[in-house]
Amino acid sequence: MEGLSDVASLATKLKNTLIQYHSIEEDKWRVAKKTKDVTVWRKPSEEFNGYLYKAQGVIEDLVNSIIDHIRPGPCRLDWDSLMTSLDILENFEENCCVMRYTTAGQLWNIISPREFVDFSYTVGYKEGLLSCGVSLDWDEKRPEFVRGYNHPCGWFCVPLKDNPNQSLLTGYIQTDLRGMIPQSAVDTAMASTLTNFYGDLRKAL
């Protein structure tokens, strides 16, 4: 199983990649979808021939509570409507783990159910937290799922300066869904998935 001989260096590299995404200039992003309280942007990914998506919105809750809902654990399955199962395969020190999760079919099943095996890491960032992940090449596959691949992705959550009871949640997602799907279907699904994620999370909190 490649890549987990050195958990600390994988975690550090992942965190640094996310911080780099977080500092990309605004004019590099194009709006993909905008609702009343969430904006989703995209730009071509440097990891694969799809897009890196950025989502941002304010959530009425404390940072720790929000990240506890997002990071791998039983709580996530209760509210995330896209996720159909989540198993923690391995736990490491320092808020790191390997998780396997499955997602529901999307767009009237044009996108069939997917399975992912990700390394996940949660770490302090400025006054808040960053929960980030990247897929691993895990050998064991289940035939009923297409194995997708998450290039470095993560969620930054920081308290608002003028109101610490509210938090700014910013996500970076670049998922290679794999399989034969038209790119336009992927783009539609990704933008909707991200806005729904905020809606589901707000309801749960």
User: Which helix (H) or strand (E) segment is 198 a member of?
Assistant: helix 183-204
> What's the number of domains the chain is made of?
1
Domain that holds residue 109: 4-204
pLDDT at 58: 98
Q: Give the model confidence (pLDDT) of 5-35 as tens digits.
A: 789 999 999 999 999 999 999 999 999 999 9
The strand ranges marked E within the chain are: 30-34, 39-44, 51-59, 83-92, 96-103, 114-125, 128-135, 146-147, 149-159, 167-176
Asked if 42 and 50 touch (Cβ cutoff 8 Å), the reply is no
Q: Tokens in use for 69?
A: 């809902």
pLDDT value, residue 1:
42
Please say whether the beta carbons of 36 and 57 come within 8 A: no
pLDDT in the model for residue 180: 86
Task: Share the mean pLDDT of the chain.
Answer: 94
pLDDT digits (tens, 9 = 90+) for 61-72: 999 999 999 999
Given its phi and psi angles, is residue 107 left (phi above 0), alpha (psi -120 to 50 degrees) or beta?
A: left
Per-residue pLDDT of the chain (205 residues; tens, 9 = 90+): 444 778 999 999 999 999 999 999 999 999 999 999 999 999 999 999 999 999 999 999 999 999 999 999 889 999 999 999 999 999 997 799 999 999 999 988 888 999 999 999 999 999 999 999 999 998 888 889 999 999 999 999 999 999 989 999 999 999 999 988 888 889 889 999 999 999 999 999 9
Question: In this structure, what CATH number is given to the domain that contains residue 102?
Answer: 3.30.530.20
